[in-house]
Chain A
Amino acid sequence: MKQRALSVYAALALAFLYAPLLILIVFSFNGGRFTLWEGFSLRWYRAAMNDPQLAGGLVNSLIVAAGATVLSTAIGTFAAYGLWRKASRLLSGTLYLSLVTPEIVTGVSLLALFQWAFRFLHLQLGLYTVVIAHVAFSIAYVAIVISARLRNHDRALEEAAMDLGASEWHAFSRVTLPLLAPAIAAAGLLALVVSFDDYVITSLVAGVDSETLPMVIYAMARRGVSPVLNAVSALIVVAFGGIILVSQRLQER
């Protein structure tokens, strides 16, 4: 197959992939309300910054993302390391299953768990239930990134460390962990993005006052298209894109 024909096709395909995002970004600077171009303007960005709902959603999303990222990165790193030392088909299988389970099923099952538990615990849905849910589905992502890095790791390094007097914990913390640092950072950024963007699961387990940014965006999108959303979307696209690029650079180290 001629590479030239393929490259024309590839250009079209890439255009297809990027066009909707670029359109959003372009129209976020549109002075007018709809799709008629009325001049360059930043009014929608200003409106987005001043919107209390959006601000509240952003704060909640940041809180959840921070908590979920820290927890899932730690738990996932330990899990990947433990599995690398000695395989456990049960745990690997469970992690893999969590990746493949449809989000809606994960969401409703967690809702069912919480409602059942609340009968005894006298608690309510809130931001913390969102964090719990996010950690549950992020562990697998982190584990995958760390496992990929460990596959190229020389086992003799830890043996050498122990041979020189390091305990198992020191061999891990003084030799393996420093070498895993870039992968851990990459996994953390991945977990951050995944948590920040989640709508389906979050909407099911969030409390009444715990609206996250995706939930606010969804509500606005449902109500009809708002130009403020274009500005918010543009900001998100740029922010996420940037974070992921950094994460990929870290993984290449």
Chain B
Amino acid sequence: MRKWFLLPARVWMALFFACPLAIVCAYSFLTRGDYGGVEQPWTIESFTRLADPLYLAILWRSIWIAALSTALCALLGFPLALFISRSGRRKNLYLQLVLLPFWTSFLVRTYAWLFILRDTGLVNTVLTGLHLISRPLQLLYNDGAVLLGLVYNFLPFFVLPMYATLERLDPALLEAAADLGARPFATLWRVVIPISAPGFVAGSMLVFIPCLGAYLTPDLLGGGKSVMLGNLIQNQFTTARDWPFGSAASLVLMLASALILSGLMRSRVARELM
């Protein structure tokens, strides 16, 4: 009887999740057809092409932007999570406040930064109005704008697991540390942060992986100037019509994500989180 309950999900995921991934896997080893599409022969040419400096640069940019976004989210998100965990009765209220923007449209939130940062946007208008600049600043279409957009969108992803870990922290531990002579900053550094390591790891993972595969943010805020892996993949499947190459890049992205994830799942830190 139970099998019937699981059947629809099994069928849907097999057909529309597993199969597509298998097809992409297969395509990555094929060759580009004349009119787009794929054809034989089987080759690893798509993968070797990724080693081209041009594409390696894209890969590298994806990694360091994702890493920097993660670091910034951690830096900005930790104090926020700490604050919420110490807010007593208002904990849930503040948590919901932090998470609410996340639930509004991703597209809209990214567009908001377009509105603020562009040449005729809010920042430039205000600065020009205050006569601080004579020509508009080029705030968009660079790595920095992409970084800003990513941090803005994914900050709640870090705060949530961080908060979950901090919330479980026994206040008696802090009192014990103080009793043993630790001043507030020392307690933070030697007790709170080490104990909340699982939260750091989970939060970082939840930010790094989507950032690595980001598409919309570098597309809108980076223009064509800040190309990440996601943009490359999208481009190959649409304009460039080089599906094998796009598939190879997709595979690399998936593999990178899966590796990070499994590394985390196996670590002691993950087990503490469960």
Contacts and interface: CB of A to CB of B under 8 A. Distances in A.
A20 interface: yes
A104 B233 CA distance: 7
B220 interface: yes
Given A23-B112, A75-B12, A217-B111, A237 B104 contact: yes
Given A79-B6, A244-B103, A6 B233 contact: no
Interface in A106-140: 106-113, 115-116, 132-133, 135-136, 139
B10 A105 contact: no
Contact of B184 (A1, A7, A35, A94): A1
B122 A108 contact: no
B33 to A, nearest CB: 11
| Most chain B beta carbons < 10 A, residue from A3, A24, A74 | A24
Interface in B85-131: 86, 94, 96-98, 100-101, 103-109, 111-116, 118, 120-122, 125-126
7 contacts: A6-B86, A20-B152, A27-B115, A135-B12, A168-B1, A204-B238, A240-B105
Contact of B6 (A9, A88, A217, A233): A88
Contact of A94 (B13, B82, B94, B96): B13
Contact of B82 (A6, A76, A81): A6
Contact of A102 (B27, B100, B125, B230): B230
Nearest to B230: A104
B63 interface: no
B120 A35 contact: yes
Interface stretch (A38-46, A48-56, A147-155, A193-201): A193-201
Contacts, number: 232
Nearest to B88: A3
B144 to A, nearest CB: 16
A-B pairs, 9 with minimum CB distance: A102-B213, A82-B5, A109-B20, A79-B9, A20-B112, A82-B6, A244-B103, A35-B125, A113-B20
Nearest to B26: A112
Interface stretch (B45-53, B243-251, B266-274): B243-251
Given A10-B84, A101-B254, A104-B250, 18 more contacts: A1-B185, A6-B83, A13-B79, A75-B8, A79-B6, A83-B6, A85-B5, A86-B2, A91-B13, A101-B257, A105-B254, A111-B237, A112-B20, A112-B237, A197-B107, A204-B237, A229-B111, A245-B100
